[in-house]
Structure 1
């Protein structure tokens, strides 16, 4: 059995599928390809997939719908491909649960780099220092950085995407400190923000819906207007 990480590609363009498959195999990934949502579901039923590369514009069932359905019962990382240049389209993809996106045309090498970065974050454990916390507790909530789990004060598992988990972990590691959007993006995605990148704001909004009693009046993740965010809680 191969130890290579398994990537699923969903794109209706056979030339793009072939190009991406060649590049990913050259980077030592195992690859399965699909041209529609039905074929992707078949792959997921029979294979263990580590990450999905998903085209936004598909005939029939579109990429956004597929992304939403995947997120309903899976935390598999998703990188969305889009030919759309409008910010709103990218925002919708992130809101549906995509972990990252690339705008076509793009370099296959950049996609490989994004995939590797996303998988590193997904598999991250407490290796940066021996004394780094395995579990962070705040107001009864428990974040386990090894199992990559968040449990509420009633010990109920909270469903987080990999991007949501990474952002929450980054905030919790630096409580009561201002974290700029650029810094958070660099920590969680390994790249600097551009002026139009709103992925951090979108993920913060999703996190607030899941951990704040009143998302419109957050007690944990507070906004510092024009600067960034502060995680306001005592961590034990």
Structure 2
């Protein structure tokens, strides 16, 4: 996958002068033979092992892929029975996660079902946990590590969520609600950026004021969205996440 992405037309190299050959030496030392490999049209075949520059790029690509699979490999090395579980799927790169051959594709289908054909969906945390194939307690705040892991996993499905503690929100409540919205790579933002941080504080104050009477009118929510749209210095992804947070 990564090779095709980096070299969509294949990797072209200049043929080396060294030609491909096979030598066989009998263990007894009684005889040996040598085969010169050639093509009927192009002649002797070049030995691509004799070139170094293109191979260095391939080694770097291989090392990058190995690093991405390191955590997955460590898990299976420690617990072989984890193969095929959602815990293992959490650790796979996005390209492998969504391929038909791994468990992540089934999870993606269940998450997609939560949207019901829309681009945004409000669901219970328990519903999301069930779609992901994980168990959660009936009540209480969920652990920070678990919330971060769920957020990172949803990123790979191109789904954002709020509240998302990675961007300054509270931990998920086991018996609470979560808003899911479709966004590339889960709508990553710089939560420490001045524009985003001040806009988030504004949203929190506005939401508290709107809910002070125990209910939030549609007009109040529309007013909050209008305020978000008018904040300078924000990108589309940041505005989308703030609206989900509201």
Larger Rg: 2
| Structures share fold, TM-score greater than 0.5 | no
Q: Which has the higher helix share?
A: 2
- Normalised by the length of structure 1, the TM-score is 0.25
Asked which structure has the greater RCO (Cα within 8 Å, sep 6+), the reply is 1
